[in-house]
Amino acid sequence: MTRQQLVEQIKKKKSYLCVGLDTDITKIPAHLQSHPDAIFEFNKAIIDATKDLCVSYKINTAFYEAHGLKGWEAMQKTVEYIPEEIFTIADAKRGDIGNTSTQYAKAFFEALPFDSITVAPYMGEDSVAPFLEYKGKWAIVLGLTSNKGASDFELQKTGDAYLYEKVLSTVSKWGSPDNLMFVIGATQADEFTNIRKITPDHFYLVPGVGAQGGSLKDISEKAMNKDCGLLVNASRAVIYASGKEDFAEAARKVAQEYQQEMAGYLERLNN
Amino acid sequence: MTRQQLVEQIKKKKSYLCVGLDTDITKIPAHLQSHPDAIFEFNKAIIDATKDLCVSYKINTAFYEAHGLKGWEAMQKTVEYIPEEIFTIADAKRGDIGNTSTQYAKAFFEALPFDSITVAPYMGEDSVAPFLEYKGKWAIVLGLTSNKGASDFELQKTGDAYLYEKVLSTVSKWGSPDNLMFVIGATQADEFTNIRKITPDHFYLVPGVGAQGGSLKDISEKAMNKDCGLLVNASRAVIYASGKEDFAEAARKVAQEYQQEMAGYLERLNN
């Protein structure tokens, strides 16, 4: 998917919501747990209930790999089920030496039809470059993450800058705002103004709203750019909104609340 | 597998060779390519031909994921085929926020029977900790890698130390030499003496010998500790030693050359 297509979706739906399909079989409603294809059935219902409210789905590969072959199959069925106009993210945090990253790019961009993949920057340019060679596909590189461990290395100083700032300024030279995004955690709102100075034009994938405590208002006020420039992810807050048979309706309700709040911030952007 | 079991294997086989199963279907012999289970058949022959010469097999997950479901199945069959006394490494470079790393640990330590997994350190402690909670399992955290991109971040200064040195000194506090190893590229021989000062007791997984140009002699002289402390990986140099029907014998011959050279360095250690 091109940047232009993504921006058009955001304008059309008045939403920059990404729904995270971190589907944990122990947390899905009891009536589905015995279904032979429980994870996919759950995802399908969530997608059907939210697809007009979000512009992206993020599939966290760990939750699928935890079920081995069957999990990988559920992941494949899920990404294939997502409507084509919705931006798909393999939240896979991959990255290795060049010839290995090339194989990961094949895995997620050819064997599976994802639009994008999250990538860890530690190993440097040749670990990211292979993901940038596909037209219409995106690498979403870790910048400043939402978790406590962000302080261990990302927030260590390298010269005058934090490591994550060095990552943003360096990695942004390897691609363009048309094929590169960054992961910036919603819990890091204090840093957002500074982050926008380093990467004014890029989209950010922003996890950490909802269960992890980040504020949609803070992020939107501090980090929107002229094309919106944000995909704000909510996973657990949406997909586990109810643990009962009404889980899909409950997910829709929470997604709708996010979408309506987002519509307000987008409107201010246009005025 | 415990550290003691691994050290015993090294002494018994007079080897610290790890054979990397980075199996690329386009590089395996022509007579196997049309086999319905080509990747596993190739791996099986390589394992049969080398299992008395090496103490570890490293499965690079990217090469399997590139084939989707069928690839994941080949990975599972391969790791299950490896004899129990041989240390298995999922070279997967995973790492994410705590609740997600917990799922990756399930994937590789429960759904699949790996002894260890390689982990990227960028996201900090909660991204590594879940892998350290399994008795007899190991996290192998990226320290200083063998690729050109290592200079982008790993070799940037954070205060007085390089980032990779900060990673070694910080991460080594999260576990012990009994459940934590580090990846140190063989192409980084100049740094090995210094690295041993920071982490004297840990095992290192050392890729980069062979195709990437690192020297087994340099590494062994500079980085062995009293328990050996090294698993030196060769992938392409072993598994693609011949592209013809004699590929397994050819792989054995190269593995044997490594093993014999290693036996010499181990003998010096004991004298």
For chain B, 271 residues long, give each residue's pLDDT as a single digit of tens. Answer: 999 999 999 999 999 999 999 999 999 999 999 899 999 999 999 999 999 999 999 999 999 999 999 999 999 999 999 999 999 999 999 999 999 999 999 999 999 999 999 999 999 999 999 999 999 999 999 999 999 999 999 999 998 999 999 999 999 999 999 999 999 999 888 889 899 999 999 999 999 887 778 899 999 999 999 999 999 999 999 999 999 999 999 999 999 999 999 999 999 887 7
The residue among A141, A144, A145, A204 whose CA lies nearest residue A173 is: A141
User: A-chain residues within 8 Å CB-CB of B24?
Assistant: 103
Give the model's pLDDT for residue B39: 97
Distance CA A69, CA A186 (A): 33
Distance CA B185, CA A10 (A): 44
Partner residue facing A62 (CB), from B71, B76, B100: B100
Partner residue facing A62 (CB), from B93, B104, B124: B104
Contact between B193 and B221 under an 8 Å Cβ cutoff? The reply is no
Q: Which residue shows structure tokens 């506090």?
A: B173
Check CB contact under 8 Å for A163 and B153.
yes
The residue among A65, A243, A191, A200 whose CA lies nearest residue B90 is: A65
The residue among B127, B161, B160 whose CA lies nearest residue B142 is: B127
How many helices (H) and strands (E) chain B has is answered by 12, 10
User: A-chain residues within 8 Å CB-CB of B154?
Assistant: 122-124
Distance CA A61, CA A37 (A): 17
Distance CA A127, CA A145 (A): 19
Per domain, the residue ranges of chain B are: 3-270
- A-contacting residues in B 83-112 (Cβ below 8 Å): 91, 93-98, 100-101, 103-104, 106-108, 110-112
What's the pLDDT band for A213 if we cut at 50, 70, 90? confident
Partner residue facing B68 (CB), from A76, A104, A120: A76
Contact between B90 and B115 under an 8 Å Cβ cutoff? The reply is no
What's the pLDDT band for A212 if we cut at 50, 70, 90? confident
Partner residue facing B62 (CB), from A107, A120, A123: A107
- State whether the Cα torsion B228-B233-B239-B240 is positive or negative: negative
Distance CA A90, CA A64 (A): 11
Q: B63, exposed or middle or buried, with CB in 10 Å at 0-12, 13-18, 19+?
A: buried
A167 touches chain B (CB under 8 A): yes
Pairing assessment for the beta strands B161-162 and B17-21 based on DSSP bridges: unpaired
B68 touches chain A (CB under 8 A): yes
Contact between A20 and A60 under an 8 Å Cβ cutoff? The reply is yes
Q: Which residue shows structure tokens 């690729």?
A: B147
What's the pLDDT band for A236 if we cut at 50, 70, 90? very high
Question: Cα dihedral angle (A137, A142, A148, A150), rounded to 10 degrees?
Answer: 180
| Domain at A3-270: CATH code | 3.20.20.70
A93 is catalytic: yes
B122, B146, B188, best to mutate vs chain A, most A CBs in 10 Å:
B122
**Cβ neighbours for B26, distance < 8 A, ≥ 6 positions apart:** none
- B-contacting residues in A 243-262 (Cβ below 8 Å): none
B156 touches chain A (CB under 8 A): yes
Complex ipTM, two decimals?
0.97
Q: B161, exposed or middle or buried, with CB in 10 Å at 0-12, 13-18, 19+?
A: middle
